[in-house]
Amino acid sequence: MKEFLVHPNPKDPRLTNRVPGIDHEGKAVETSVVVERALTLFLNDQEIVTMMTIGDYPDYLAVGYLLNQNMLRLDDAVTAIDYDEDLEVVVVRTERRTNYEEKLKKRTRTSGCAQGTAFGDLMEKFDEIELPKDAVLKTSWLYALMKKINTRPSLYLEAGAIHGCVLCEEDRPLIYMEDVGRHNAVDKIAGYMFRHDIGPEHKMFYTTGRLTSEMVLKTVQMGIPILMSRSGFTAWGVELARRADLTLIGRARGKRFIALAGEHRIQYDADPGQVAEEPRHIQRKASLADDAA
């Protein structure tokens, strides 16, 4: 599978606005800011949720959200996805009749940005999922991925205040999605995988954001055994990763990284001394984006 089947387009005029302001010296500046839009999701005739999103790939976002909330099954037949940009509504239609009225009454939000995620829904199958123990992460793949992803033009580097997630295989970034909430970026990838029949086998997941409980839960839910980030960890995220035997790698920048769970999958086949540090302009832009996101 070739690299970057889907990737960010920071030049898309729908996704950012140029806004004037002043800097720390009182000088006039103009900067890019990410555009947020409301999107209301229906499953058949039932309203499920209204989320804030940048508005690209509403079909993948809708399907991925339903999958990761256990409202859509992997064997479901999706008969249509209708999106009305003016009404800011997306409707997913299935052959199976659905009714989640009771499920929607009890919702505990996680710490995800923007809309958040229903924690109880993600925990329903968590302990039943077995991640493949024979999956492997070579450090040479990790270093190659960091360079390819962190130097790719993106809204993350252009404007900040956004999260990026990437589905990877070996040293190849496959699907790169961004959104104002990390859960949205994950859901877009889950939806893309479902619609294009891409399985989790031999896959890895990368995020620009924190390794929270939500990120761990969703990665496990998708059946992906390795989760990586350039950012840090939360205690609950680490606890859940160890409980699921998910390989959890954070603070991955240049030649450095820290693994706090699932270390048995890591194969040290590269000499860190031969790996270049991140260019300073990437470090600076990513640091500002991390703070804003």
Task: Give residue 282's domain range.
Answer: 137-292
Residue 257 pLDDT class (50, 70, 90 cuts): very high
User: Does residue 113 form part of some domain?
Assistant: no
Tokens of 93: 């239609």
Q: At what angle do helices 58-68 and 182-195 cross, to 10 degrees?
A: 100
User: Does residue 182 form part of some domain?
Assistant: yes
Sign of torsion over alpha carbons 125, 128, 133, 134: negative
Residue 217 pLDDT class (50, 70, 90 cuts): very high
pLDDT attached to residue 261: 98
User: Does residue 192 form part of some domain?
Assistant: yes
User: Does residue 77 form part of some domain?
Assistant: no
User: Does residue 88 form part of some domain?
Assistant: no
Tokens of 207: 């995020």
Chain segment 119-136, per-residue pLDDT in tens: 555 677 888 899 998 999
Total tally of structural domains belonging to the chain = 1
Phi and psi of 55, rounded to 5°? 100, -5
User: Does residue 115 form part of some domain?
Assistant: no
- 3-class secondary-structure state, position 121: helix
The CATH number covering residue 270 comes to 3.40.140.10
Task: Out of 93-97, 261-265, 282-286, pick the least confident.
Answer: 282-286
Looking up tokens 């877009």 gives 188
pLDDT attached to residue 122: 64
pTM: predicted TM-score of the whole model, two decimal places: 0.88
User: Does residue 271 form part of some domain?
Assistant: yes
Chain segment 259-268, per-residue pLDDT in tens: 999 999 999 9
pLDDT attached to residue 106: 58
- Decide which of 23 and 292 is more confident: 23
pLDDT attached to residue 273: 87
User: Does residue 153 form part of some domain?
Assistant: yes
